[in-house]
Structure formats: structure tokens, C-alpha cells
Amino acid sequence: MNTDEWTQTLGAGPLLGIAVGAVAVLLVLIIALRVHAFLALVAVSLATAFATGIPADQVVDTLTDGFGSTLASVALLVGLGAMLGRLIEVSGGAQALTDALIRRFGEKRAPLALGVASLLFGFPIFFDAGLVVMLPIVFSVARRLGGGILRYGLPAAGAFSVMHVYVPPHPGPVAASTLLGADVGLVIAFAALLAVPTWYLTSYLYGLWIGKRIVLPVPDILGEAKTDANPPKAGTVVALLLLPLALIFANTGLTTAADAGWLDGDAGWFTVLVALGSTPVALLITVFVAMYVLGTRRGRDKTVVEKLLDSSLGPVCAIILITGAGGMFGGVLRAGGVGDALSDALSDLGLPVIVAAYVIATVLRIAQGSATVALTTAAGLVQPLVLGGGFSSIEVVAIVLALAAGSVTAGHVNDSGFWLVGRFFQMDVRTTLKTWTVMQTTIGLVGFGLASVVYLIA
């Protein structure tokens, strides 16, 4: 799509009004009028595209570009993750790992164990991929111990979110570190220190608290809870879960070594290994391994395994489509110039740099949905101030963390992650706003508070 042929003439005020109005209409359609979320998102995206002045001959391309770019990153991960989850669930592997966790940590600390495991998995794995892989374990623990899905799901989902937004090698903090000239090693160190207490306060404790007040049944979206009478060992399941982690971590390590000049990034063996460690390929390899380890090796007929995998895709199709439509809505807001107009309006706030960084990233996040786009755009806006401000290396790290905190704040209906979590936990929009959006906001606020402490004592 070529949007260089037209220029947005609306100012920040009208564009912000259009964005707010679009969100309001979307909520009315879904909550009050009970229109299916997929239809509502597509219709509101179309109306918003016309309202922001996108030329009529580019509207459809704008919609499909936003939809397609989101599916490119989500559909493969959700589909492969659902297949892996189905194999782990039906083989009894999820139950075996659940029993091992409960024996090791006890029933009362099961949400803590799930959250800590998700923090570790979340270091190299993107949010959506990590969440999908962990879901069968989360669902199995919730079924075994009771108390609703939120008590166990929010600590795990929050852990992946915290790691994804704050800690390199995830794309947002890496891009911000590069733009501001921050030492990536220092960013990793301080981000990890910030991530743990932020997760504990905003995802673990909040998950326990809200889970007592909103008790939701455990979804059956990954399939029925029937499992083999002779389940695999817990160690086998852990090894399967660690396989994509190891492949992705190798990808990250090789890429970092090439960037530092230690390896030849153009070598054939290098490009092959990096490709094998990309998240979709790592999950694909893991699914094939699981087909053998949990299926063929355990006496399952190949036809039975194929039917199991096929049955895993049906329930997640709606999730994939709705998530793609959420990305479409965010893409229309970006293509319509909402983010750019707000960037121009917010670039000269007269605030301290660390406060301005948080505010700009927050407003951009709320306006257009994508945390990575908000973080990268806000970093570009404060870049001249940071590079010319004579800040210490620790102060620059704190500014990067403040940008990350703003980029996660108040995720709502224009964010594909909002729909991914809401649909996997089978929450309606109102409940997702009261749980996931609130949790994301507290992740941003607590992270900004801790980043400010680092900035003040640097």
C-alpha cells in the first residue's frame, strides 16, 4: 500500500476525537448491542478509515495490511501453540506437570510457580507465543485446584507481558535502547531487576485479588480434559517446553554475537541456525517432536495424532480472526495519522525528560494500540533531548524503562493482545477491561515508578 500519495490535513484535535469516538462506538456495538467482536472491529475500522480521510481507493488496502501484518505474527504462533497444547493436554502431560508443580510448591503457591516459570520462559519468547505454550499447564492447574482461571492465568500472562515490554531481546526495548544510545547490557540488568517486583505487585498479587472477586470457569478451548491413563513424565513435558526456549535463545545469542562482530552474519550456516531459532520455526520443530514423543512413541496411531492436531485448530480460529481484526483497527489509526499527529502535539511538553517519555508513550499506546510502535515512536521523539542532554548511562537506561512503562499502559480494544487474552480466557469485553486493562495499567505505573527511582539515584 502506498500512502505517500496523500497528506493528512486534520489536526491532532480532530484525529483524537475520531479515535475516541471510534473506540466508544466499538464498545457500544460489542457490549450494549452484542455485535460479534470480529464484525464490530471490521465495521469500525472501515468507518474510521473514511473518517480520518484515507483515500477511498486505499481504504481496503489499509484494512488488509493491518489485518495481514497482525496475522503474520499471531496466526502461526497461535496455531502451532494450540497444536502443542492439545498434544500435551490429551497425552496427560499437562496433568503430570501440574502434579509435579503442586508436589514441589504446594497448592497455595501454584499461581506463584506458574508466574515464575512464565517469567523464565518470557525472557526470549514473545508474549503471544509464550502464553499459548503455557496455557495447557495453566488450565490444568486451575481445573485441579479450583478457584477460577484468573487466579492462575493472570500471573502467567502478566509475566509474559512484563518481560516482553521491559526486557531485551524483545523488539520494543531493543529499538528504544538503540535510538537513545543506551547500553543494552545495562538495560537488561536493570529491566530484569524492575520486572520481578513489577510482576509480583501487578500480576501475582493483583491476580490473586481479582481472581477471588471474578471467578471464571476454566475454558475448554484447547480441548476436553480427557487424558491418557498412563501420562508421560513431568520431565518429558518440561523438556518439550524448553525445546523452543533453547532454539529461540540460540537465535538471540547468535544474532547478538553477529551484531558485535564476533561471528560472520552472512555465513550460510549462521543464517540457517538463525532461521531454525525464529519463534514460528522453533514451535514447528517442537510440534513435530511432540507428535513423536507424545504420540507415535506412546503407541498412538498416526491417524489419531493427525485428528488430534486438526481438532486443536477449530477452537482458536475465532481468536485468530478477532486478534487480526484488533490489529486492523490499530493499523487504521496509525495509517490515518493519529499517532503522528499526537507525536507532534506532545513533542514539546516542557516536562522532565523521563516524565515526558512516559506520558508520550502512554498517549501513543492508548491512541493506536501497539506497544512496540508506541515505544519506538516515543523513543524517536525524545531522542534529541537524550542525546544532547548529557545524561549518564544509568539515567538513559531509566528513560528507556520509562518509555517501556508508558507503552504497556492501558491496553484496550485497539490492541491485538487485549483480544488474545480475552478470548483465550473466554472473557467478555467488559471483564477484559476490568482485569487485563487494569493489570496492564498497573504494570506501566509501577514500572514507571521504579524507573523514576533509578533515574533519581543515578
Q: What is the pLDDT of residues 269-324, one digit of tens each?
A: 888 888 888 878 888 999 999 999 988 888 888 888 898 888 888 777 877 888 78
Which residue did the predictor score with more confidence, 401 or 19?
A: 401
Written in H, E and C, the secondary structure of 13-24 is HHHHHHHHHHHH
What's the pLDDT band for 229 if we cut at 50, 70, 90? low
Digit-coded pLDDT (tens) for 49-71: 999 999 998 999 999 998 888 78
Cα-only R_g, the chain: 22
- Written as nine digits, the cell of 452 is 523514576
Whether the per-residue pLDDT at 177 is higher than 90: the answer is no
Whether the per-residue pLDDT at 134 is higher than 60: the answer is yes
Last residue of a domain, one of 304, 325, 346: 325
pLDDT value of residue 439: 97
* % of the chain with per-residue pLDDT over 70: 94
Average pLDDT over residues 370-399: 83
Q: Is residue 46 in a domain?
A: yes
| Contact of 379 with 403, CB cutoff 8 Å | yes
Digit-coded pLDDT (tens) for 6-53: 777 787 788 878 888 888 888 888 878 888 888 988 999 999 999 999
Q: Is residue 228 in a domain?
A: yes
Average pLDDT over residues 168-181: 80
pLDDT value of residue 345: 67
In this structure, the answer to whether residues 130 and 20 fall within a common structural domain is no
| Contact of 165 with 439, CB cutoff 8 Å | no
Average pLDDT over residues 323-352: 75
In this structure, the answer to whether residues 118 and 246 fall within a common structural domain is yes
Q: Is residue 1 in a domain?
A: no
Whether the per-residue pLDDT at 428 is higher than 90: the answer is yes
- Written as nine digits, the cell of 246 is 533453547
pLDDT value of residue 135: 87
Last residue of a domain, one of 307, 325, 343: 325
In this structure, the answer to whether residues 246 and 191 fall within a common structural domain is yes
In this structure, the answer to whether residues 259 and 134 fall within a common structural domain is yes
| Contact of 199 with 165, CB cutoff 8 Å | no
In this structure, the answer to whether residues 190 and 314 fall within a common structural domain is yes
The single residue listed with the C-alpha cell 531493543 is: 174
Which amino acid would we find at residue 226? K
In this structure, the answer to whether residues 407 and 285 fall within a common structural domain is no
Q: How far is CA 311 from the centre of its chain?
A: 25
| Contact of 118 with 156, CB cutoff 8 Å | yes
In this structure, the answer to whether residues 314 and 369 fall within a common structural domain is no
Neighbours of 272 (CB within 10 A): 10
Whether the per-residue pLDDT at 362 is higher than 60: the answer is yes
Neighbours of 337 (CB within 10 A): 24
Q: Is residue 2 in a domain?
A: no
Contacts of 425 (CB under 8 A, 6+ apart): 149, 150, 153, 216, 219, 432
In this structure, the answer to whether residues 336 and 290 fall within a common structural domain is no
Which residue did the predictor score with more confidence, 92 or 437?
A: 437
The Cα 14–Cα 19 span in angstroms is 9
- Written as nine digits, the cell of 421 is 487474552
Q: Is residue 7 in a domain?
A: no
In this structure, the answer to whether residues 415 and 437 fall within a common structural domain is yes
Kindly state the helix (H) or strand (E) to which residue 377 belongs, with its residue range: helix 371-387
pLDDT value of residue 398: 96
Average pLDDT over residues 84-108: 81
In this structure, the answer to whether residues 192 and 339 fall within a common structural domain is no
Q: 312-324 burial, b if ≥16 CB within 10 A, otherwise e?
A: beebbeebbbbbb
Which amino acid would we find at residue 288? F
pLDDT value of residue 1: 47
Last residue of a domain, one of 303, 325, 347: 325
Q: Which structural domain, as residue segments, surrounds residue 435? A: 332-457
Q: Which of 133, 168, 161, 159 is nearest to 280 (CA)?
A: 133
Residue 196: HSE in the Cβ half-sphere, 13 Å Cα cutoff? 8
Average pLDDT over residues 162-187: 83
The Cα 381–Cα 386 span in angstroms is 10
Q: Is residue 215 in a domain?
A: no
pLDDT value of residue 287: 92
The Cα 133–Cα 452 span in angstroms is 34
Average pLDDT over residues 237-247: 83
In this structure, the answer to whether residues 192 and 308 fall within a common structural domain is yes
In this structure, the answer to whether residues 346 and 312 fall within a common structural domain is no
Digit-coded pLDDT (tens) for 142-156: 988 999 999 999 999
pLDDT value of residue 442: 97
What's the pLDDT band for 343 if we cut at 50, 70, 90? low
Q: Is residue 212 in a domain?
A: no
pLDDT value of residue 200: 97
Say whether 426 sits in a helix, a strand or coil: coil
- Written as nine digits, the cell of 317 is 480460529
Domains held by the chain: number: 3
pLDDT value of residue 342: 66
- Written as nine digits, the cell of 183 is 547500553
Contacts of 239 (CB under 8 A, 6+ apart): none
Q: Is residue 351 in a domain?
A: yes
pLDDT value of residue 194: 95
